[in-house]
């Protein structure tokens, strides 16, 4: 099962790698404006945010829904080829892709945490980071045509679907999944959920505009990709060794440390956009601000809530969905207004997230 899950993560986050590293640059080459790029990248997070509420009231993420999401993901990726030059059609395709990805990952995250446990989760999840690195190192050498990114998306989507189907079809994989129908009250613990969401809002500046931001400041595209790759390398390092941290330390304190590291990271990118030494150090904080944050969050929610699938759906939908939506649109307009302050705003938002999570600890 670990090999299958590792393979799934490799190709799934390969798709994510194409999406967040190259697609903004591709859309820029196709003469999309910064605000249009922001709106397009908000489509997928929007549906990721809305879907969990549908499953909160009346639906459950069954295997049939999961299989339907695999078909939708494949259809959406192929549609990218035919729609990428049309803003409105490409927007619809991004919505469809968002629906699919918002169902696939939470479903398999529960399988992973049930079968391999949180102490070994990082060593399997790191294959997703390796897929991200592979895309970054290979695709940059062939990005002489905007459609190359689309070809890579289709390729990685096909193998994502293949391994996801094999895992879900394994009877042992889902035998421990909870059948709880309990709902989750987000308002009851609003500080936790708002803190997690603000953290993802701050990442909107990084995911959607880091490549554009650095190349606009004179950093070459190849060096910018090296910065991306370095960040993922330290992420892999953290995922491999974080098992003892997750087992030994309070998960909320790890979340607080992660969000605080994001404050420093975004401020350094703002203050030193052309200093490669500082930029590489800032990227080294990806180990804390992403890898440790992500693993701590899903482990904490998996432990905290009885309805584990819904908890992961809300984490994906509310934080990555709504947070990604707000961050994408907001930073798109901020970049057009004053591109130089985009990461200063991100640092302030991450600081608010830290303060809210400190309140969670106080309670």
* Residue 129 in this model has a pLDDT that exceeds 60: yes
Min mean pLDDT across 144-153, 161-170, 196-205, 343-352 is at 144-153
Alpha helix locations (H) across 272-322?
276-284, 286, 293-304, 308-314
Q: What integer is the mean pLDDT of 230-245?
A: 84
pLDDT at site 59: 61
pLDDT at site 337: 86
The pTM of this model reads 0.75
Residue 124: CB atoms within 10 Å: 21
pLDDT (tens digit, 9 = 90+) per residue, 331-344? 888 988 888 999 99
Q: Can you read off the two tokens belonging to residue 361? A: 């600890």
Q: What integer is the mean pLDDT of 27-56?
A: 78
Rounded-to-integer distance, Cα 201 and Cα 332, Å: 12
H/E run at residue 108: helix 87-139
pLDDT at site 178: 45
CATH of 2-362, one of 1.20.1050.10, 2.102.10.10, 1.20.1630.10, 1.20.1250.20: 1.20.1250.20
Rounded-to-integer distance, Cα 212 and Cα 347, Å: 18
pLDDT (tens digit, 9 = 90+) per residue, 309-333? 788 878 877 887 788 778 878 888 8
Domain map of the chain by residue range?
2-362
Q: What integer is the mean pLDDT of 146-155?
A: 84
* Residue 307 in this model has a pLDDT that exceeds 70: yes
* Residue 137 in this model has a pLDDT that exceeds 90: no
- How far CA 320 is from CA of 8, 41, 134, 326, in Å, comes to 19, 12, 23, 10
* Residue 24 in this model has a pLDDT that exceeds 90: no
Question: Which of 61, 182, 169, 168 is closest to 112 using CA atoms?
Answer: 168
């Amino acid at each position: 099962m670990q090999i299958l899950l590792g393979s799934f993560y490799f190709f799934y986050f390969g798709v994510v790698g194409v999406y967040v590293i190259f697609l903004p640059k591709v859309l820029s080459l196709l003469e999309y404006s910064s605000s249009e790029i922001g709106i397009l990248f908000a489509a997928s997070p929007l549906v990721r945010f809305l879907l969990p509420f549908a499953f909160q009231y009346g639906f459950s993420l069954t295997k049939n829904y999961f299989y339907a999401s695999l078909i939708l993901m494949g259809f959406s990726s192929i549609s990218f080829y035919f729609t990428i030059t049309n803003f409105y059609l490409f927007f619809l395709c991004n919505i469809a892709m968002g629906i699919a990805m918002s169902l696939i990952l939470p479903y398999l995250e529960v399988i992973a945490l049930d079968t391999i446990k949180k102490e070994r989760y990082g060593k399997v999840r790191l294959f997703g980071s390796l897929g991200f690195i592979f895309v970054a190192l290979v695709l940059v050498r062939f990005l002489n045509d905007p459609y190359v990114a689309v070809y890579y998306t289709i390729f990685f989507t096909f193998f994502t679907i293949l391994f996801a189907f094999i895992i879900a079809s394994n009877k042992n994989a889902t035998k421990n999944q909870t059948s709880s129908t309990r709902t989750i009250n987000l308002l009851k613990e609003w500080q936790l959920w708002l803190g997690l969401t603000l953290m993802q809002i701050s990442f909107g500046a990084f995911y959607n505009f880091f490549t554009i931001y650095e190349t606009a400041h004179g950093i070459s595209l190849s060096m910018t990709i090296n910065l991306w790759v370095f960040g993922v390398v330290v992420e892999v390092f953290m995922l491999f060794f974080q098992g003892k941290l997750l087992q030994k330390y309070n998960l909320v304190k790890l979340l607080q440390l992660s969000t605080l590291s994001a404050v420093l990271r975004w401020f350094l990118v703002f203050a030193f956009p052309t200093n490669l030494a500082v930029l590489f150090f800032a990227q080294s904080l990806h180990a804390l601000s992403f890898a440790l944050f992500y693993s701590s969050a899903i482990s904490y929610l998996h432990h905290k809530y009885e309805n584990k699938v819904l908890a992961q759906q809300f984490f994906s939908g509310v934080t990555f969905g709504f947070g990604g939506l707000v961050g994408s649109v907001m930073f798109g307009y901020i970049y057009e207004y004053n591109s130089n302050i985009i990461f200063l705003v991100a640092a302030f938002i991450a600081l608010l997230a830290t303060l809210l999570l400190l309140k969670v600890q106080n309670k």
